[in-house]
């Protein structure tokens, strides 16, 4: 699909049509335009990353897409062709949350990409459950300031970052990326991701949905739907669910639960001091385990003395008064079968040979350490949107295909809160709550509404594709192909 022969084939077809016409100059123009397009994305092709297995062959690209020329703002991407029939497969964008976490550091090399980081960050291995079996797979480090993405305007970062700003940049990224890869302009397009991308995903989808109505001003993007995993959706329901999950899964005592219920009004944007104190006590009990997967071991790399000390020293989101600071604590991701994967990714992407092969701006990279999650973004992000449920209501009526899935061992954005969110939409029930099976075992539960499908994944935490890669692949297959999940 990306072979230089593509340009020649285009020209050959026009040559046949022009045999009886003086079209020499037309052919020259066609060759020039085709070559220019070819060179644009071919210059981003990755030959071989350090430690990348040579077999199977993987066609992938990376580089920068400018999203604001006046400010010199550019987002970094990593793109994988589908493993088979890439010219027929849809385009799938993956976003991670945080806010401030890299989709390359998590989604690409820990969860769904074809190349996963090895233990200790010394190389890569092939992922047998990569989602690029089902789609052409695109990752972007968003918002600006994450990973290799950058801005030349200091006022852009990090003080003005908020949901609408991020959505606008993501839209500009996508529109400009499609200019660089024009063969995907008419392809079916879907958005996916997890955690605080539960905001990013529907907000980007809404922006595309609205602007597609005005093709005189905006390019048409063939958006078909989106799928969100363990998504932050609505503050009230998510927070209510977090507390109830901690109690129902024996993390906190009856007394703690009763106290928090008594003093906390999760409908209020700013919590009382009493509520902040009560919720701090909830998190104190969570510090001894991995809140992102309550049944998984915690990462003990660089451990010093006690578990509590380790968690305190590694947790940048220490509690101070105010609801905003509580939300910062809730979004940081460390879960998984091996909770040290973020350490491995950081070691790998801070290697200069990796950055050079990866087309990263190595001059900038030497000044800033690449991180899976950027604490400064996490601390200063302006949480201006408390709920994206109105967007869900709008887009379900707009005909988009929408799925939500939840790992049921996640304590941060637990299944209880997400069920509240889905039920609050008041959608007409299409198919009742039932079991779906995977390899003759219970994979989870599924319920279908008019315009939305909700799936749970048994035994998975916050990062479902990491904990249950085979089940996650089955979910994305069913989502993209309309096949029945578990069939």
Render 320-339 in DSSP notation, one character per residue: -SSHHHHHHHHH----SSST
Q: Does residue 28 sit within a domain?
A: yes
How is residue 363 written in tokens? 């001059």
Per-state percent for the chain, helix, strand, coil, to nearest 5: 40, 20, 40
3 state SS of 10: helix
Q: 258: which residues sit within 8 A by CB, 6+ positions away?
A: none
Could you identify the residue written with the tokens 């001894």? 288
Question: Strands 189-194 and 223-229: what pairing?
Answer: parallel
The number of beta carbons lying within 10 Å of the beta carbon of residue 28 is: 11
> Tell me, what's the pLDDT at 298?
83
Told to judge if 309 belongs to the known catalytic residues of this protein, a careful annotator would answer no
Q: Does residue 34 sit within a domain?
A: yes
The band of 391, judged by pLDDT with boundaries at 50, 70 and 90, is very high
d(CA 435, CA 298): 30
Longest dimension (CA), the chain: 88
* Residues paired with residue 115 on neighbouring β-strands, in sequence order: 126
Q: 13: which residues sit within 8 A by CB, 6+ positions away?
A: none
Integer-rounded Cα radius of gyration of the chain: 23
Told to judge if 462 belongs to the known catalytic residues of this protein, a careful annotator would answer yes
> Tell me, what's the pLDDT at 137?
98
The band of 156, judged by pLDDT with boundaries at 50, 70 and 90, is low
Residue 278 has pLDDT above 70, yes or no: yes
Q: Choose the catalytic residue: 192, 195, 342, 406.
A: 195
> Tell me, what's the pLDDT at 154?
67
8 A C-beta contact, residue 65 and residue 173: yes
- For 282, the enclosing helix (H) or strand (E) is helix 273-286
d(CA 333, CA 317): 12
> Tell me, what's the pLDDT at 152?
81
> Tell me, what's the pLDDT at 40?
75
Q: Choose the catalytic residue: 199, 410, 438, 474.
A: 410
Q: Does residue 9 sit within a domain?
A: yes
Q: Does residue 31 sit within a domain?
A: yes
The number of beta carbons lying within 10 Å of the beta carbon of residue 97 is: 28
Mean predicted confidence (pLDDT) in 115-144: 95
Q: What is the pLDDT of residues 37-50, one digit of tens each?
A: 455 789 999 999 99
Q: Which domain holds residue 29?
A: 5-42
Q: Does residue 111 sit within a domain?
A: no
> Tell me, what's the pLDDT at 295?
92
Q: Does residue 446 sit within a domain?
A: no
Q: Choose the catalytic residue: 199, 359, 438, 462.
A: 462
Q: Does residue 22 sit within a domain?
A: yes
Residue 221 has pLDDT above 50, yes or no: yes
Q: What is the pLDDT of residues 337-383, one digit of tens each?
A: 456 888 899 999 999 999 999 999 867 655 678 999 988 888 888 89
- For 198, the enclosing helix (H) or strand (E) is helix 197-211
Q: What is the pLDDT of residues 395-438, one digit of tens each?
A: 999 999 999 999 999 999 999 999 999 999 999 999 999 999 99
The band of 206, judged by pLDDT with boundaries at 50, 70 and 90, is very high
First CA to last CA distance, the chain: 32
Told to judge if 410 belongs to the known catalytic residues of this protein, a careful annotator would answer yes
d(CA 260, CA 247): 11
The band of 121, judged by pLDDT with boundaries at 50, 70 and 90, is confident
The band of 120, judged by pLDDT with boundaries at 50, 70 and 90, is confident
d(CA 418, CA 209): 24
Dihedral angle, C-alpha 100, 106, 107, 110, nearest 10 °: 180
Q: Which residue has the higher pLDDT, 23 or 84?
A: 84
What total number of domains does the chain contain?
Answer: 1
Residue 20 has pLDDT above 60, yes or no: no
* Residues paired with residue 444 on neighbouring β-strands, in sequence order: 436
Q: Does residue 37 sit within a domain?
A: yes
d(CA 47, CA 61): 9
Tell me what the pLDDT averaged over the chain comes to: 85
Question: Strands 115-117 and 124-126: what pairing?
Answer: antiparallel
């Amino acid at each position: 699909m990306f072979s230089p022969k593509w340009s020649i084939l285009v020209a050959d077809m026009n040559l046949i049509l022009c045999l009886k016409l003086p079209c020499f100059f037309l052919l020259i123009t066609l060759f020039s335009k085709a070559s220019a397009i070819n060179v644009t994305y071919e210059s981003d092709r990755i030959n071989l990353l350090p430690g990348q297995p040579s077999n199977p062959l993987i066609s992938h690209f990376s580089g920068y897409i400018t999203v604001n020329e006046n400010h010199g703002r550019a987002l970094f991407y990593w793109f994988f062709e589908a493993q088979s029939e890439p010219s027929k497969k849809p385009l799938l964008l993956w976003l991670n949350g945080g806010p401030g976490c890299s989709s390359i550091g998590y989604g690409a090399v820990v969860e769904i990409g074809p190349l996963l980081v090895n233990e200790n960050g010394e190389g890569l291995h092939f992922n047998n459950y990569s989602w690029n079996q089902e789609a052409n797979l695109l990752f972007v480090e968003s918002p600006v300031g994450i990973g290799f993405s950058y801005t030349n305007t200091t006022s852009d970062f990090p003080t003005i970052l908020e949901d609408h700003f991020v959505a606008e940049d993501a839209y500009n990224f996508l529109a400009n990326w499609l200019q660089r890869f024009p063969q995907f302009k008419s392809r079916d397009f879907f958005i996916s991701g997890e955690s605080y991308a539960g905001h990013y995903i529907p907000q980007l989808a809404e922006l595309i949905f609205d602007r597609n109505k005005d093709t005189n001003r905006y390019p048409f993007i063939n958006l078909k739907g989106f799928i969100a995993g363990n998504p932050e959706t609505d503050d009230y329901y998510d927070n209510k669910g977090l507390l109830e999950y901690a109690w129902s899964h024996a993390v906190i005592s009856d007394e703690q639960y009763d106290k928090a219920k008594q003093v906390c009004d999760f409908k209020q944007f700013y919590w009382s001091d009493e509520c902040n104190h009560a919720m701090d006590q909830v998190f104190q009990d969570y510090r001894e385990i991995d809140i992102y997967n309550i049944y998984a071991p915690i990462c003990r790399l660089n451990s010093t003395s006690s578990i509590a000390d380790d968690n305190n020293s590694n947790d940048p989101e220490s509690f101070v008064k105010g609801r905003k600071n509580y939300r910062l604590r809730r979004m940081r991701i460390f879960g998984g079968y091996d909770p040290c994967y973020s350490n491995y990714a950081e070691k790998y992407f801070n290697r200069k040979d990796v950055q050079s092969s990866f087309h990263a701006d190595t001059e900038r990279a030497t000044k800033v350490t690449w991180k899976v999650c950027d604490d400064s973004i996490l601390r200063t992000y302006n949480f201006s949107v408390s709920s994206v449920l109105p967007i869900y209501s709008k887009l379900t009526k707009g005909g988009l295909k929408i799925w939500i899935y939840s790992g049921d061992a996640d304590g941060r954005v637990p299944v209880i809160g997400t069920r509240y969110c889905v039920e609050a939409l008041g959608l007409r029930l299409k198919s009742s709550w039932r079991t779906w099976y995977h390899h003759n075992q219970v994979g989870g539960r599924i319920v279908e509404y008019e315009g939305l499908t909700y799936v749970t994944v048994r035994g998975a935490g916050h990062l479902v594709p990491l904990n249950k890669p085979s089940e996650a692949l089955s979910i994305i297959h069913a989502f993209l192909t309309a096949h029945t999940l578990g069939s």
